[in-house]
Amino acid sequence: MSLPHAILTALMEKPSSGLELTRRFDRSIGYFWSATHQQIYRELGKLETGGLIRALPAEQPARGQKKAYEVLPAGRAELARWTAAAQDPKPMRDVMLLRLRAAAVVGTAGLEADLRRHLELHEQQLAEYREIERRDFPPGKDGPEDRLRHLVLRAGIDLETFWTQWLRRALTDFPDMPAPEGL
């Protein structure tokens, strides 16, 4: 149940409409909590009903017209409560690791190409993160909020670094292992 809190965080940073939120989820926040616009609109509705946010007064609310939301005190309190509450880490779920495990029983045919493709994708993501770091966290910019956000970004950088290294290693000692023929 984290999407509402992701939205509250984004709205605290800056009151926004659904579409603006969607765009920001495609960039910063979405890097570690992705969401589609449908999810966001649905959740905005629930948050408004629940009294955690409210629509900023607009001339006439109508379809196809921007409607911006801001966080109410109750929403802020809920976000603080959630942030402090203990939560267990979710067990990892990774398809590529599962596919490698499957390859150990049905053969590696066809897998190598996708490993290369993933390596490229992770390299791109890593480059993007590094660019953000260069742009948004120049030396000296280190207020408490910056320190926290930088820490989050560094997790992204280190994770992508891990994947690129692991994928390179996988490609290096990849056994050429066609599917065993008998059933």
Partner DNA sequence: GCACTTTTTGCAACTAGTTGCATAAAGTGC
Partner DNA sequence: GCACTTTATGCAACTAGTTGCAAAAAGTGC
Binding site partner of 168, from DNA, a copy of itself, none, Cβ cut-off 5-8 A by kind: none
Based on the shown chain and the rule CB under 8 A, indicate whether residue 82 belongs to the binding site for a copy of itself.
yes
Beta carbon nearer to DNA, 53 or 126: 53
Q: Which two tokens stand for residue 31?
A: 């890097």
Binding site partner of 64, from DNA, a copy of itself, none, Cβ cut-off 5-8 A by kind: DNA
DSSP designation for 89: P
For 8, other C-beta atoms within 10 Å of its C-beta total: 24
How far is it, in rounded angstroms, from Cα 4 to Cα 40? 9
Q: Which two tokens stand for residue 14?
A: 């800056």
One-letter identity of residue 65: Q
Find the shortest distance in angstroms from Cβ 65 to a copy of itself. Answer: 27
DSSP designation for 71: E
Q: Which stretch binds DNA (CB under 7 A): 65-73, 105-113, 130-138, 147-155?
A: 65-73
Positions in the binding site for DNA (CB under 7 A): 1-3, 17-20, 22, 34-39, 41-42, 44-45, 62-68, 93
